[in-house]
Amino acid sequence: MAFDCVVVGAGPAGASAAYHLAKRGRSVILLEKQALPRYKPCAGGVSPEVAQWFDFDFSPAIAGKVENLRYTWKLGDPIEARLATMEPMWMVQRDVFDHFLVQQAQAQGVELRDNITATGIEFKGDRWHVSTANGTIEAHYLIAADGAAGSMRHWLGFKQAKQRMGTILESPTAGNQPMIAKFEFGMVKNGYISSFPKGDRCSIAGATFRGNEPSDLHVTMADYAKQTGINPADCQQFVQPICLWDGNQKLHTQNALLAGEAACMVDPLIAEGVRPAMFTGVKAAEAIDQALVGKSNALENYTKTIHDRWGDEMLWAQRIAGAFYRFPGLAYKKGIKRPRATAAFGQILCGQLRYSDIASTAMSRLSGGLIPGMG
């Protein structure tokens, strides 16, 4: 039997696509190389905007909600602010959040095969044949959502994506920790460090966005942890490839789509990836559903839809990042410390404001600093 669609990768993009396809009555098989639930290195901040794209309650998958932010420059000159948005920023543990999404998809009839790795693909006749150690899966359409480290992008004939590396320190925390999202600028050249509380743990994330990647990022992050009262020896360290957006690109090919980080849908200013990944999953499902009823340009329209919603935003984010991280001290002093910066931060996070709405003002104030988005 051939499925309507095989989705490779059960992260936010893949699970979102599987859910919405099954919701439309399509037969879907979801393939995941790791056993679920599985840990995923991630800062764990998620925009509440994603709730608008689903018809179920995300509360069971949310470890906490954050309204209070704290910015620092080399751990000094602190700025504390409050998000003036209707819904606070979500803090999630990705093993819980991703598995919750998959369970919602399963409830719609999606067949999950986890702990199984795709070993190759071939398009024969009118369908994809996905090889695994447990046999071949056949489906008329394929969604590649296997992330930055996956093979599907290459197998489908797309050019290799540029990658940067992000570092995560996972720290066990005592209960009743303050629900404050922290952002440290200055300690990491061309990047920043964030610290997000998530129930019984805290995720400290570090990444750079331009120039050569530092070889000692892990050392800097350990120093940050120590100076903020966390024993680095108690932390687990993970290094994760990140596929930042690097220009609009074709996201469709023969009966197949790229989604999530396999499509390089990571914000080049702040490394936000979950929200754009879920959006691509939702839109990939819509496109394949249309293709299954004979709409010839459905997959091409998917690429256009993603470009229209995220392309200009990512371009502005990239431009702001280039200027912001070039003059971070000035940007912190004249940009982040401005009261309107946090307001813009919250509105961008919640989908009430876009980078394009603030970009011209931010860029024109290069001599006086820039307004950042979220981390």
Question: Is 358 inside a domain boundary?
Answer: no
Whether residue 359 has pLDDT greater than 80? no
Residue 77 included in any domain: no
Q: Is residue 334 part of a domain?
A: no
Q: What is the pTM of this model?
A: 0.94
pLDDT at position 365, please?
A: 61
Residue-level pLDDT at 30: 98
The pLDDT tens digits for 142-165 are 999 999 999 999 999 999 999 999
Higher pLDDT, 157 or 356: 157
Question: pLDDT of 88-136, one tens digit each?
Answer: 899 999 999 999 999 999 999 999 999 999 999 999 999 999 999 999 9
Residues 6+ apart with CB under 8 A from 160: 153, 154
pLDDT in tens, 281-337: 999 999 999 999 999 999 999 999 999 999 989 999 998 888 888 889 988 887 788
What pLDDT score does 291 carry? 98
| CATH (domain of 104) | 3.50.50.60
Q: Are 349 and 374 in contact (CB under 8 A)?
A: yes
* CA-closest candidate to residue 116, choices 129, 103, 128, 134: 134
% of the chain exceeding 70 in pLDDT: 95
Give, in order, the Cα–Cα distances in Å from 62 to each of 152, 193, 202, 277, 307: 30, 22, 14, 18, 29
Cα separations in angstroms, 299 against 16, 140, 229, 294 = 17, 13, 50, 11
Q: State the sign of the Cα–Cα–Cα–Cα dihedral 14, 20, 23, 26.
A: negative
In a domain, 253, yes or no: yes
Structural domain of residue 249, as residue ranges?
A: 3-40+47-54+94-162+245-313
* Sheet arrangement for strand 164-172: 76-82, 68-73, 180-185, 191-198, 201-208, 164-172, 236-242
Give the model's pLDDT for residue 372.
42
Tokens of 154: 């290459």
Domain annotation covers residue 262: yes
Judged against a pLDDT cut of 80, whether residue 339 lies above it is answered with no
Query: Residue 342 phi/psi, 5° resolution?
Result: -70, -35
Give a yes or no: residue 269 inside a domain.
yes
Query: What's the total number of domains in the chain?
Result: 1
Separation of alpha carbons 197 and 171, rounded Å = 9
What are the phi and psi torsion angles at 374 (to 5°)? Answer: -110, 165
Q: Is residue 143 part of a domain?
A: yes
How high is the mean pLDDT of the chain?
91
Closest C-alpha to 277, from 262, 287, 298: 262
pLDDT digits (tens, 9 = 90+) for 227-275: 999 999 999 999 999 999 999 999 999 999 999 999 999 999 999 999 9
For residue 85, the model assigns a pLDDT of 80
Residue 27 resides in a domain: yes
If DSSP codes are grouped into helix, strand and coil, which group holds residue 121? strand
Binned at pLDDT 50, 70 and 90, residue 82 comes out as confident
DSSP string, 194-213: EEEEETTEEEEEEEE-SSSP
Any alpha helices (H) in 180-269, and if so which ranges?
217-227
Residue 59, pLDDT > 80, answer yes
What pLDDT is stored for residue 81 in this prediction? 85
